[in-house]
Structure 1
Amino acid sequence: MFKSGLIKEYSPVISFGARLLDLCIVVGGGLLAHYIRFGHLRLYDYYEQALVVGALLAAIVLPMFRLYHSWRGKELWRQIWRISLAWAVVVLILVLLAFGLKSGALYSRYWAILWALIVWGSLVSVRIAVRLLFNFMRERGWNHRHIYIMGAGDLGRNVAHQLREASWVGYDLIGFWDDNPKLQGTLVESVPVMSCEEGCRQLESDKKHIDEIWLALPLRAEERMREVLRMLRHNTVNVRLVPDIFGFHLLNHSVTEVAGVPVLDLRSSPMRGLNRIVKAVEDRVLAALILLLISPLMVLIAAGVKISSPGPVLFKQKRHGWDGKPIKVYKFRTMKVHQEEDGQVTQAKKNDPRVTRFGAFLRRTSLDELPQFFNVLQGRMSIVGPRPHALAHNEMYKDQVEAYMQRHRVKPGITGWAQINGWRGETDTLNKMEKRVEYDLYYIENWSLWLDLKIILLTLFRGFVHKKAY
């Protein structure tokens, strides 16, 4: 567990640390250049201002060059070229600012050139050192990812061969999936070949050990790719397409290269790297502030629930969370204590006799959802995201609504894009659930901090009271 998942598990922390280290290099390089030039570290105000502006520009410009995305399997010279270009843009902006503000005469040219060279050399050296460290770790079995390849034809074998030749990238091929009965049960490139159906069954029983599935099929096999994606619709494993474009000459194409193999991401979560850290900070800070503000209201609601009918104040129910893992969600109890037959979960309907009068008020105003801010602090939920459905509802709809389970690529939320657009409350028709899923997937595909803030703001105006909430 430690060897195979350390880097993957802490990739957001590593990404944040890399950004922080780069900023330290920018400031530290300026201080070192000043010491070399002047023999001391007593900086004038305008030197300090230059270092601060340089660090701010680096924080903005360097991420724009995708320096903090995964460089696994890509050539080192490309990474060096990208960091060199990014730092050159920062230096150019600093020069233009000095020229525009007519402050260039204040600075020593020797210091400025030395600062630029020291920072550039340090940024490049750090990335070379990190690359060597990761190679060292992967040679010893650390930070490996396990994959299946769909397609044992020429393209799939070419991919397998290149992965074997570039073993330092840490991608381990577990097996092939192929529709050819003659290949099934044999070894290709020293790994077993199985049918797609058998592979899906193994994936369900052993999904903790499989990180990705690569589709290495001819471009004409579009329909088969659709079928495979449909077979994988209940699973949140990352799916990549290896396009059969080795013989093409492409210009300005956008493909990810791993060990020299062009791959396209088909399905993945937006909560990776810095995004994951931003989302976590957003959730924890806002949830803590909101709970502090609403704590008196929650005490009053708890008393009202207790008075309205016998039973506990909180209603706890298992729902699916991130990656489809079960979580326990809290709500204020709005129904009389009852037991449903055969573990069924019946949605509340208009004039439902199980709902108390006080509970009906809580449902209409969404005040029954307030305890879920504790779920957010626990890390089980987010403030914004697809609403979590009961486990029984997921089982009911996952085969009726295309890509239904893809909602679980992010944490479930207290409010969401579907809710502020009117798709909340009872889903008594398939069309209503399809529309809710459509809006949930739009949110996942277009996630940003600004979209979250927009949804929170709109929730305050039109997301609480709703006539369809029974």
Structure 2
Amino acid sequence: MWTDSVVAGVVDQSTPPWRLRDHKGTVSLVHRVADAILVALGLWLACAFTAAEVSVALISAGLIGTGLFYFLAEIKDLYRPWRTESARVEVWLVLETWLLVAGISLTAIYVQQDAAEYPPDTMLYWLVTTPLLLAAWRWSARSALHYARAHGLNTRRLAIAGGGDLAQHVARTIEDKPWMGLDLLGLFDDEQSDDEQEVEHEPNGSPRGSRSLSTLVDLARRGDVDVIYIALRPGHKERESEALLRSLGDSTASVYLVQDRRARVADGSQGSRQILPNLWRIDVLQRRRLDLGGIQAVSLYETPFDGPDGWLKRLEDIAISSIALVLLALPMLLIAVGVKLSGPGPVFFKQRRYGLDGRQIMVWKFRSMSVCEDGGKVKQARKNDSRITPFGAFLRRTSLDELPQFVNVLQGSMSIVGPRPHAVAHNEQYRAIIGGYMLRHKVKPGITGWAQVNGWRGETDSVDKMGRRVDFDLAYIRNWSIWLDIWIVVLTFFKGFVHKNAY
């Protein structure tokens, strides 16, 4: 088809998977909106205090000032995540940014011949009032977040892989600042000395002790840890670090590599260097920067849908699923009647599958078989499968059996586009033999996906087939954009509904 050549160009799977991106969370989006409002509020208050008329010139000055503030704020990285950094540093950076805005604005205004349109007292009030509003907002927001996190709200369970100086420093930083909202589970290291174990203590004063890296991997696989900081000793072997990262790929935990230039190991005549894993050999997802008390951390396994991107993705899901359910209401009613007449059993088939972060969800489909399997062992549908009803075969060939999943999308357990969910039994089978399989669950499962429009759908009767599907799923997560989602939806109409492997 004409789409084949286009498909190959949408996602270049040879692209290095560690394109460095800034971590933009929900709080950064709120700050952006609040900053624009406060700049406008500062101008309005200045006009009110000086009894100045709100003229077109002053409104233009406000818009230019807002745009200039955004421009300088991006340069100064003002909208980076501040969870692990001091509120004083953040407030000072806000004031410094506005000081530059004031200097540039005053210079630009008073070199013009029509400078009289900008009353000096009004401009002075605006340029002085606005930074106070911005600083007060930032301080209040941080105080509210600190209070909430210190009292158990907006927290994440954290584990640190390592037991040396770097790991100890990170642990102390986190325990000294409960407002970060990081609940430290402990340090995990295979080489920790007795002296280091004696220094370690739980927050209540009892000895923490060191647990092994294999214990950490088990916790991650069970979903008992949300975030893992890799801060291994400088002498840790590269291959061992890579093996740990691959093991953590069998989990839905967010994994960050802590990099400290002070953490060095003697390296003969070459001086000293920090031993880091070779990321070419790791399925890195969404690499982003994070500042941890002055130490840089880079995400290796993280979701692309944190913050504004997550809001955009959810808006896309609600809009498309709502329209689809309205347009498909009558066809779905007719299909429901057909399923009921096709034989005994319920109209809908509900099956447990893994969703976001490996949590179990119930996925809805029109029943297409004479059985409803959802136990510890689920047999995949095969060609000429005797369990498939004649009407069910039609539904499966045309993918009409998937239509009830628009309800899952509207509820929020699924997305329009994402890795297809598999039965829990199949998940447990393949996660044990395919590296990085559970990384698919860093995003919500979808009705359609990048793997499906590339032909990797239907029965996976070999590990190689499932492996190829996982490759495309991970490529989607690495390269996600709203435009990629739209393109996948378009391709679904051409090659996603009917396929030779759909039976």
TM-score (norm 1): 0.82
What do the CA deviations read for 1:97-129 (whole angstroms, capped 9, x no partner)?
999x99877544654454344333322232123
The 1-side partners of 2:379 and 2:367 are apart by 15
1:329 aligns with 2:363: yes
The 1-side partners of 2:445 and 2:335 are apart by 24
Gaps of 5+ in 2: 1-23, 202-207, 265-271, 274-287
* CA spacing shift, 1:314–1:140, aligned 2, 3 Å: closer
Alignment of structure 1 residues 104-253 onto 2, 5 Å: 106-108=117-119, 110-112=121-123, 114-136=125-147, 144-166=155-177, 169-180=180-191, 183=194, 186-190=197-201, 191-202=208-219, 207-208=223-224, 210-219=225-234, 220-246=236-262
* CA spacing shift, 1:15–1:256, aligned 2, 3 Å: closer
Q: How many percent identity over aligned positions?
A: 41
Of 142-151 and 287-296, deviating more is 142-151
The 3-state SS of whatever aligns with 1:242 is: strand
What do the CA deviations read for 1:60-87 (whole angstroms, capped 9, x no partner)?
8867865444202224455346545765
Residue identity in the other structure for 1:240: Y
What do the CA deviations read for 1:115-145 (whole angstroms, capped 9, x no partner)?
3443333222321233344445556666554
The 3-state SS of whatever aligns with 2:306 is: coil
Conservation of the 8 A alpha-carbon contact between 1:218 and 1:244 = no
The 1-side partners of 2:459 and 2:318 are apart by 29
* CA spacing shift, 1:95–1:344, aligned 2, 3 Å: farther
How far apart are 1:343 and its partner, in Å?
Answer: 4.5
1:30 aligns with 2:43: yes
Residue identity in the other structure for 1:213: I
The 1-side partners of 2:374 and 2:412 are apart by 32
Q: Which has the higher contact order (CA 8 A, sep 6+)?
A: 2
Alignment of structure 1 residues 52-451 onto 2, 5 Å: 67-76=78-87, 78-80=89-91, 82-83=93-94, 106-108=117-119, 110-112=121-123, 114-136=125-147, 144-166=155-177, 169-180=180-191, 183=194, 186-190=197-201, 191-202=208-219, 207-208=223-224, 210-219=225-234, 220-246=236-262, 255-335=289-369, 337-338=370-371, 343-451=376-484
The 3-state SS of whatever aligns with 1:363 is: helix
Q: Between Structure 1 and Structure 2, how many residues are aligned?
A: 451
What do the CA deviations read for 1:182-221 (whole angstroms, capped 9, x no partner)?
649943332311222234445566x55x432222114552
* CA spacing shift, 1:309–1:30, aligned 2, 3 Å: same
The 1-side partners of 2:149 and 2:333 are apart by 53
Gaps of 5+ in 1: 1-10
Conservation of the 8 A alpha-carbon contact between 1:161 and 1:189 = no
TM-score (norm 2): 0.77
Aligned CA-pair RMSD? 3.7
Conservation of the 8 A alpha-carbon contact between 2:81 and 2:290 = no
Aligned to 1:21: 34
Residue identity in the other structure for 1:292: V
The 1-side partners of 2:71 and 2:483 are apart by 17
How far apart are 1:326 and its partner, in Å?
Answer: 0.9
Conservation of the 8 A alpha-carbon contact between 2:259 and 2:295 = no
How far apart are 1:274 and its partner, in Å?
Answer: 1.7
Of 220-229 and 78-87, deviating more is 78-87
How far apart are 1:444 and its partner, in Å?
Answer: 1.4
